[in-house]
Structure 1
Amino acid sequence: MIKPSNTHLVLIPSYNPGAKVCDTVREARRHWSPVWVVVDGSTDGSTQWLQQEAAADPGLRVLVLPRNQGKGAAVLQGLEQAAAQGFTHVLTMDSDGQHPAGLIAPFMAASQRDPGAMVLGRPVFDASAPKARVYGRRISNAWANLETLWAGIGDSLYGFRVYPIAPLRAVMRKQRWMRRFDFDPEAVVRMCWHGVRPLNVDAPVRYFSAEEGGVSHFNYVRDNLLLSGMHARLLAGFLLRLPLLACRRLCARDGAASRIAAP
């Protein structure tokens, strides 16, 4: 039996995930407690299964949104309720089985050692990864690194992460973006702007074929246009913040040099 944490929880936004959600949630519960699932207006029958599972498992909670609002909106709903119950950190992961539930505990431990940081999964791809997705994320990563003056974001799109709740809520409440597929990359850039340090930890990612029960809601045209608009916004914000970011980087570099030079 896993002892429930009163500071860190697993938060899983879920929209029409298919059969893989069963294994995903059970694996997450095997490695952590509590686990919350935010059902983002699903219509595939997964809501009923999740509610039945939660009725028999006190470590699992299911929040149901009446209509699909997007990944970021689902995460924000979970953040608001988690903060109200005194939680300080959430580990976000997808509901479709792509993320490694076996690494939940090590990621949480890294966050507990350094609670002011965000712990970011850095994906390790296998042969199942679509080449277009692998190469395309390099473009998003390059923009994210520029927009943060190379603050140390290993991967801007991989959603297996531990966030401190308070700064993420503050960032999301200040603007109306980050509610859909743009959540993951915009969150890490804006969190860096907010002064939250990234810690990168390697983690595998698995892409399941349709025959294996894999479900993808990624639309190459729609979502790439969304990411392009997001990076245009972030670039404008970066230019406004450039003096502050440059000063922060110089101070961090000088501080590191002082520690190295100290007897």
Structure 2
Amino acid sequence: MSRPASSSTHLVVIPSFDTGPRLAETVAAARAAWPVVWVVVDGSTDGSSVPLRGIRDPGFRLIERARNGGKGAAIRDALEAAAAEGFTHALAMDADGQHPAERIPDFMAESAAHPEAMILGRPVFGAEAPLLRVRGRRVSNWWAGLETLWCSRGGEAIGDSLYGFRVYPIAPLLAVMRRNPFMRRYDFDAEAAVRLAWRGVPVRNLAAAVRYLTPAEGGVSHFRYGRDNLLLTGMHTRLMLGFLARLPVLAARRLRQGRGRGPGG
């Protein structure tokens, strides 16, 4: 699929925190695949933003936050600015080289064909993927499936709640984030998918490879098993309480849908 010359509706957003040389490599790969790429450097202290300051391209923008606020906070900064300039959809991807930049055009095409939907990456793991990470995400996915029970309106179930390579419709995501004080750090990806599903945003899942790079390959990970799983536990507790509050309305809607189909539906 060829790279479009420009886009006034869809852009790539790359949040980054201390990702070293991998940031410049990820940005180069993303810019080769898509004409509008914005990077949000979230209070990094490793100098990774320096090589990007010299890029002179109307489709590229570098946003540097003075302090680290988390992935969700960085993405929100980009989305607020993008919405003000008329963009309607944003593909979010990590800066550490784990996400496949070559799949950007495919995800953008799927979003253009289904602009009402969020396009979620469904990770395809390689042999190098840590087994603890692969198995551990099943817990979050199970909870996300329960929390969005009966929410699919012409779409699919959330295939993977934690894979951050995805396209969001900007307006509904900003509406959710403006009302919610959470979704700013590692809890962003899962909570964004669940809360958008609650708003009736359909889900479409596309397979995409995920790479786990070794330190020798320049791999950088800020995941902390205890801290981040505690954050996810608190997030799913909040979401379950929200789901239970919505349960009577969801059950009534499901009952009406069943009656509308009739015996042969």
Aligned pair partner of 1:219 in 221, 224, 232: 224
Query: Equivalent residue for 2:17?
Result: 15
Deviation at 1:102, TM superposition (A): 0.6
Equivalent in the alignment of 1:141: 141
Residue-by-residue CA offset, 1:218-258 (whole Å, 9 max, x unaligned): 00111000000000000000000112333455566777x69
Equivalent AA in structure 1 for residue 115 of structure 2: P
Asked if residue 46 in structure 1 is aligned to residue 51 in structure 2, the reply is: no
- Supply the distance in 2 between the matched residues of 1:140 and 1:163 (Cα, whole angstroms): 20
Q: Would the alpha carbon gap of residues 242 and 42 (structure 1) be closer, same or farther in structure 2, given more than 3 Å must change?
A: same
TM-score with structure 1 setting the length = 0.93
Segments of structure 1 that go 5 or more residues without pairing to the other structure are none
For the residue of structure 1 that corresponds to 2:158, the secondary structure is coil
C-alpha distance in 1 between matches for 2:208 and 2:131 = 18
1:38–1:253 CA distance, 2 compared to 1 (3 A): farther
Residue in 2 that maps onto 1:35: 37
Match of residue 92 from structure 2 = 92
Distance 2:8 2:17 in 1: 27
1:171 alignment partner in structure 2: 176
Letter in 1 for 2:35: S
Percent identity of equivalent pairs = 61
Structure 2 distance, partners of 1:106, 1:168, is 21
- Counterpart-to-counterpart distance in 1, 2:159 and 2:257: 18
Aligned length: 257
1:204 aligns to what?
A: 209
For residue 77 of structure 1, what is the amino acid of its counterpart? D
Pick the structure with more helix per residue.
1
**How far is the alpha carbon of 1:197 from its aligned partner?**
0.6
Q: Could you tell me how far 1:51 is from its partner in structure 2?
A: 1.3
Equivalent pair of 1:99/1:204 in contact (CA under 8 Å): yes
Deviation at 1:23, TM superposition (A): 1.5
**In 2, Cα distance between equivalents of 1:225 and 1:246:** 30
Matches within 5 A, 1:236-247: 236-247=241-252
Contact map agreement 1:40 1:68 (CA 8 A) in 2? yes
TM-score (norm 2): 0.93
**Matched position secondary structure for 1:223:** helix
CA offsets per residue over residues 174-207 of structure 1, 9 Å max, x none?
1100000000000000000011011000100000
Q: Identify the match of residue 185 of structure 1 among 185, 190, 203.
A: 190
Counterpart amino acid of residue 79 in structure 1: L
- Matched with 1:60 is 60
Structure 1 counterpart SS, 2:49 = helix
In the superposition, relative to structure 1, how do residues 248 and 35 fare at CA in structure 2: closer, same or farther (>3 Å)? farther
RMSD between aligned residues: 1.7
